[in-house]
Amino acid sequence: MSTDSSKLNRIRRSLGLETQNEWPSVVRERLGTYALLSVYLVVIWFPIYYIFITSLKPTSEVLSLPITFFPQNPTVGNYVDIFVNRPFESYTLNSVMVATTTTVICVTLGTLTGYSFSRHDFFGNKTLLLSIVGARMIPPIALIVPFFQIMANPPLIGGLTGSLYDTRLALIFTYTFFNLPFAVWIMKNYFDGVPESLDEQARIDGCSRWEAFFKIILPMAKPGIAATAILAFIFSWNEFVFALVLTSSEAAQTLPIAVSLFVADDFVDWAHLAAGGMIAALPGILFGLFFQQYIVSGLTQGAVKE
């Protein structure tokens, strides 16, 4: 089929019959694939597009019919409003602090723990790994009451008093609890794919075990680290239910909660909600675009023996 059409093209060209605006043959042969992917792209991007245009419309236009797919009077007023009339800088800061701290903790502990599980065959190794990963299999919502109680009345250490309710620390603890098992698991699998002879070669070359890890193994683990980081970051950035239960003010509330606050009993402030939504979505999208090249290799490393 493809040879036939290319032959046909050659004949056409030699006869001077070539049409100028013909599609490349790749596109023509895979027209179905392209069509399907285009539909899919529209489906997944439309909500984001819709939020984006809504965030640029004044409230009057948002509520008027028929719906306009291009803002008639585009304005950045909504964005200004949410920072002026609402403490969006606090929400954003909370989100950034909580998500990055959680990510740093998960990557650091996950990398070290994963490496230990991968390299050391200590007693109880498998059971311990299974129980760490298994803890994550419990639906988070089932743990919401214990988490609330622990954060509201944390076990007292050394006579310290105080509640972690409505603090960033509560969210960081919680998100680390949920993400660390994944981090350990991903990193363990990743290190399993790095031949142990590299550690050994490093030791022969004059490294201690720590040096071998930092100088040789860690630089090779960047894709695994990136995958772990992006999963932990996006989970923490997007998490809603625990943030809703464990926080109550701008001291700790994150962007997803802030956005939901535009929904009142009898009125939804769509325009400002959309602007808040854009603010909330942007870092995740950028972070994802930047790290996506690592995700697949990080997650699939070790799946195939070379």
Partner 1 sequence: MSKVELTELVKRFDDVTAVDGISLEIPDESFTVLVGPSGCGKTTTLRLVAGLERATDGEIHIGDELVNDKRAYERDIAMVFQNYALYPHKTVRGNMRFGLEQHNTPEDVITDRVQEAAELLQIEELLNRRPSELSGGQQQRVALGRAIVRDPAVFLMDEPLSNLDAKLRVKMRAELNKLHDELSTTTVYVTHDQVEAMTLADQIAVMDDGEIQQVGAPTNVYMNPRNMFVAGFLGSPSMNFLEGTLEESSTGKFELELGGDTHDVPDEFVDPLTPYLDDRVVLGIRPENIALNKDGVPANVHPATVNVVEPQGEKTILELSLDTGQNIKAAVDPDTVVERGDSVNLRFDRDSLQYFDPETGESLTHDSKPEQKVTPT
Contact set with partner 1 (CB under 8 A): 195, 197-198, 200-207, 211, 216, 219-220
Q: Identify the helix (H) or strand (E) that includes residue 126.
A: helix 125-135
Report the residue number, 20 or 197, with the smaller CB distance to partner 1: 197
The least CB distance from residue 215 to partner 1, in Å, is 8
The least CB distance from residue 224 to partner 1, in Å, is 13
Report the residue number, 169 or 218, with the smaller CB distance to partner 1: 218
The least CB distance from residue 202 to partner 1, in Å, is 8
Residue pair 174/242 in contact (Cβ under 8 Å)? The answer is: yes
The least CB distance from residue 68 to partner 1, in Å, is 53
Report the residue number, 16 or 206, with the smaller CB distance to partner 1: 206
Virtual torsion, Cα 71, 73, 79, 85, nearest 10 deg: -130
The least CB distance from residue 297 to partner 1, in Å, is 13
The least CB distance from residue 302 to partner 1, in Å, is 15
Report the residue number, 86 or 203, with the smaller CB distance to partner 1: 203
- Length of the chain equals 306
The least CB distance from residue 124 to partner 1, in Å, is 15
**What is the distance between the alpha carbons of residues 10 and 59, in angstroms, rounded to a whole number?**
58
Report the residue number, 22 or 211, with the smaller CB distance to partner 1: 211
Report the residue number, 193 or 276, with the smaller CB distance to partner 1: 193
**What is the distance between the alpha carbons of residues 298 and 301, in angstroms, rounded to a whole number?**
6
The least CB distance from residue 229 to partner 1, in Å, is 18
**What is the distance between the alpha carbons of residues 225 and 212, in angstroms, rounded to a whole number?**
17
Report the residue number, 217 or 279, with the smaller CB distance to partner 1: 217
Report the residue number, 70 or 123, with the smaller CB distance to partner 1: 123
**What is the distance between the alpha carbons of residues 256 and 46, in angstroms, rounded to a whole number?**
20
**What is the distance between the alpha carbons of residues 179 and 280, in angstroms, rounded to a whole number?**
20
**What is the distance between the alpha carbons of residues 59 and 41, in angstroms, rounded to a whole number?**
28
Angle at which helices 222-238 and 88-119 cross, to 10°: 140
**What is the distance between the alpha carbons of residues 53 and 180, in angstroms, rounded to a whole number?**
37
Residue pair 262/268 in contact (Cβ under 8 Å)? The answer is: yes
DSSP 171-223: HHHHHHHHHHHHHHHHHHHHHHTS-HHHHHHHHHTT--HHHIIIIIIHHHTHH
Measured CA distances, 192 to 64, 112, 228 (Å) = 58, 13, 15
